Structure 1
Amino acid sequence: MIISSSNIISILLILATSALLIITGLKKRPGIGILGSIIIISITLWLRGQNLNAIGFSLPENWGATILLGLIYGCVLYLLSTVFIDPFSEKLTKTSHDYSSFSSIRGNWKAYIQTLVMVWIFVATIEEGLYRGFLMTEVSNIVGADLYGTIFNIIFTSIVFGLSHAYQNRCGILSTASIGILFGCIFVICGFNVWVAIFAHGFLDTIALGSIFLGKENYIHQKIWNRG
């Protein structure tokens, strides 16, 4: 690997963005990290003369297929998260996921819809564009896109993704990092195009929030693990 000036800049961008996201996550101020990262990305793309296509936002040829694939992935990720990832992370860290911040949507369809709008815009779209679109693309520029480079890329960005959600406590860090690995795999499978990952993320959160709205956030877990 040749360390060129562009590689050095990519490394600095990766380190600066990752540090910002992790520190603000640990300080329970994730919004500041997201906003700061958006500013960094915007300036970077402007200086490079690039647009959002450079970080995976090229429009898909078939929106219907993209949305359907995102829905399928989102449902699978929800089941994996509910049945395996969340229970495992809670058992390993001896902490519990805290859903109290979403208590306002319980039985309140207006609050549920409002939250969904915020989630699709500020969580699904921006987070996938940031962690997968920008960070994974920059890391790929450094380590390459071969098997080992891709594995490193997915693991590194997923660790950043998990630590930047430190405000969700230790089990939240572990479960978010695990989900980040799956989102990273989706991003790679889709040729570094971020749209399927965005829809998968959005549908995952839509289903999860819907379970809270209905008061059934623990229903699947209890049915599977508390039988008998």
Structure 2
Amino acid sequence: MYLFLKKKSSSLVLQTKNAGVLCLDLIIYISAMFLIREVYFAQFNFITNGLFWSFSTLLVATGMIRLRGVSWREIGLSWPCNFKKAVLASIFIFVFTLSSIVIFQMFKEHFGLQIAPDKSAEQALSKFGQLTGNWPLFFTIIPFIWLQSTLEEMLDRGFLINWIEQMLANTWFATAVAVIIQAIIFGFRHSYDLSERSITVGLIGLAMGLGYVCFGRNLWPLIFAHCLLNTMSMLDRV
């Protein structure tokens, strides 16, 4: 597998290197990310509300990106130069993510860890409706699931990793810390507790974060892998 590893942890150049300023950016951004989820429009379904949360957070992130003199393209939203390598990277990230989840399940069962069970299957009914055997509903909502997957990669991997590591002086240690922190935030945001679901989603965030820094910091391989992962999850409910 060809790794697009760079000599430096990041090539992103912000107009400010002030750690305090970047820390304030992160406080505002993470606060907005969580506080906006307190807004829920009962007249709309979960997908609509989810996209509202993500697009609202995207506006905050975009404002900060412009304020710091960079663009989403520099963070990784540029089209891959080599499509074949991007596909291989997507496959590797997808397999690595699934492997991480399987290893966690084996570890949990072997050591008998007492963790709150994953209730996502039960919650899916209230979030998406009755999907069992309902292919029209599946094909109606899957484009929005893909859109949400794209936004999550932009916000959690693209923005969070770069801002955290820049705040911590942009070293390999800072990159490792950034990947871990964004994975914790990603997992917690999906469950708000320490449960099987939050750990599983956190592992997905960790695998995606590693894929981001190891494969040239391009978001598209992650987006493709994330979309495939969520598609499989939705298919399992049909």
TM-score with structure 2 length normalisation?
0.74
Of 62, 66, 83, 1:42 maps to 62
Task: Give distance in 2, aligned partners of 1:95 and 1:182.
Answer: 22
Specify whether residues 176 and 63 from structure 1 end up closer, same or farther in structure 2 by C-alpha distance, changes over 3 A only: same
Match of 1:13 in 2: 25
Of 62, 76, 82, 2:82 maps to 62
Of 65, 72, 76, 1:52 maps to 72
C-alpha RMSD of the superposition: 2.8
Of 140, 164, 173, 1:148 maps to 173
Task: Give distance in 1, aligned partners of 2:194 and 2:121.
Answer: 12
Match of 1:93 in 2: 115
Task: Give distance in 2, aligned partners of 1:36 and 1:49.
Answer: 20
Cα deviations across residues 61-90 of structure 1 (Å, max 9, x unaligned)?
Answer: 123442343144324423542x33357399
Q: Identical aligned pairs, as a percentage? A: 21
What amino acid sits opposite 1:189 in the alignment? C
- Given that 2:93 and 2:225 are in contact with CA atoms closer than 8 Å, whether structure 1 keeps it comes out as yes
After superposition, residues 101-140 of structure 1 pair within 5 angstroms as 101-103=123-125, 104-122=130-148, 124-140=149-165
Specify whether residues 188 and 5 from structure 1 end up closer, same or farther in structure 2 by C-alpha distance, changes over 3 A only: closer
Task: Give distance in 2, aligned partners of 1:105 and 1:143.
Answer: 45
- Given that 1:20 and 1:33 are in contact with CA atoms closer than 8 Å, whether structure 2 keeps it comes out as no
Bigger helix fraction: 1
- Given that 2:115 and 2:194 are in contact with CA atoms closer than 8 Å, whether structure 1 keeps it comes out as no
- Given that 2:18 and 2:167 are in contact with CA atoms closer than 8 Å, whether structure 1 keeps it comes out as no
Task: Give distance in 2, aligned partners of 1:116 and 1:105.
Answer: 11
Of 204, 213, 225, 1:188 maps to 213
What amino acid sits opposite 1:38 in the alignment? L
- Given that 2:36 and 2:56 are in contact with CA atoms closer than 8 Å, whether structure 1 keeps it comes out as no
- Given that 1:28 and 1:166 are in contact with CA atoms closer than 8 Å, whether structure 2 keeps it comes out as no
Gaps of 5+ in 2: 1-15, 41-48
After superposition, residues 202-213 of structure 1 pair within 5 angstroms as 202-213=227-238
Gaps of 5+ in 1: 214-228
Specify whether residues 38 and 121 from structure 1 end up closer, same or farther in structure 2 by C-alpha distance, changes over 3 A only: same
What amino acid sits opposite 1:158 in the alignment? A
SS at match of 1:196: helix
Residue range with higher mean Cα deviation, 148-157 or 6-15 = 6-15
Residue range with higher mean Cα deviation, 190-199 or 48-57 = 48-57
Task: Give distance in 2, aligned partners of 1:118 and 1:178.
Answer: 23
Specify whether residues 99 and 191 from structure 1 end up closer, same or farther in structure 2 by C-alpha distance, changes over 3 A only: same
- Given that 1:66 and 1:195 are in contact with CA atoms closer than 8 Å, whether structure 2 keeps it comes out as yes
Task: Give distance in 2, aligned partners of 1:168 and 1:107.
Answer: 31
Q: How many residues are matched? A: 207
Cα deviations across residues 145-170 of structure 1 (Å, max 9, x unaligned)?
Answer: 43321211111111111111125872
Task: Give distance in 2, aligned partners of 1:139 and 1:102.
Answer: 32
Residue range with higher mean Cα deviation, 192-201 or 71-80 = 71-80
Task: Give distance in 2, aligned partners of 1:101 and 1:162.
Answer: 16
Offset of residue 44 of structure 1? 1.9
TM-score with structure 1 length normalisation?
0.77
